[in-house]
């Protein structure tokens, strides 16, 4: 059975710092290809997760666990974004 995958991409926020923009683009590349430069690979939801999501009327979500020092990680992106606000 074929499964459909939706990868949502968008440009970085206007006025974002160069460091944030670079990290953002790395994240988008990882999301689109399923593999990050840090070695993280996409993990698709299993059957139970897909069923649970379907029961809630939501799409099942894939996950990607980046290395702690990867600029594309949630924590790094958050930190770079907040640093750019100052």
Query: Where along the sequence are the contacts to Zn ion (CB under 5 A)?
Result: 36, 38, 40, 66, 70, 72
User: Is residue 36 within 8 Å of residue 24, measured between CB atoms?
Assistant: no
The nearer residue to Zn ion, 38 or 53, going by C-beta atoms, is 38
Token reading at 20: 């944030």
Q: Are 79 and 72 in contact (CB under 8 A)?
A: no
Minimum CB–partner distance for residue 68 and Zn ion (Å): 10
* Smallest distance, Zn ion to C-beta of residue 37, A: 6
Cβ distance to Zn ion smaller for residue 37 or 52? 37
Return d(Cα 14, Cα 24) in angstroms, integer: 12
Q: Please, which residues bridge with residue 35 across strands?
A: 41
Closest alpha carbon to 62 in 84, 80, 37, 36: 36
CB 30 → Zn ion: shortest distance, Å?
6
Cβ distance to Zn ion smaller for residue 53 or 67: 67
């Amino acid at each position: 059975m074929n499964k459909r995958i939706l990868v949502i991409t968008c440009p970085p926020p206007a006025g974002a710092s160069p460091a944030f923009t670079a990290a953002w683009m790395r994240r988008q590349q990882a999301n689109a290809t399923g593999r990050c430069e840090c070695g993280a690979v996409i993990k698709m939801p299993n059957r139970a997760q897909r069923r649970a999501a379907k029961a809630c009327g939501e799409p099942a979500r894939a996950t990607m666990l980046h290395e702690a020092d990867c600029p594309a990680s949630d924590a790094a992106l958050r930190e770079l974004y907040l640093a750019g606000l100052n």
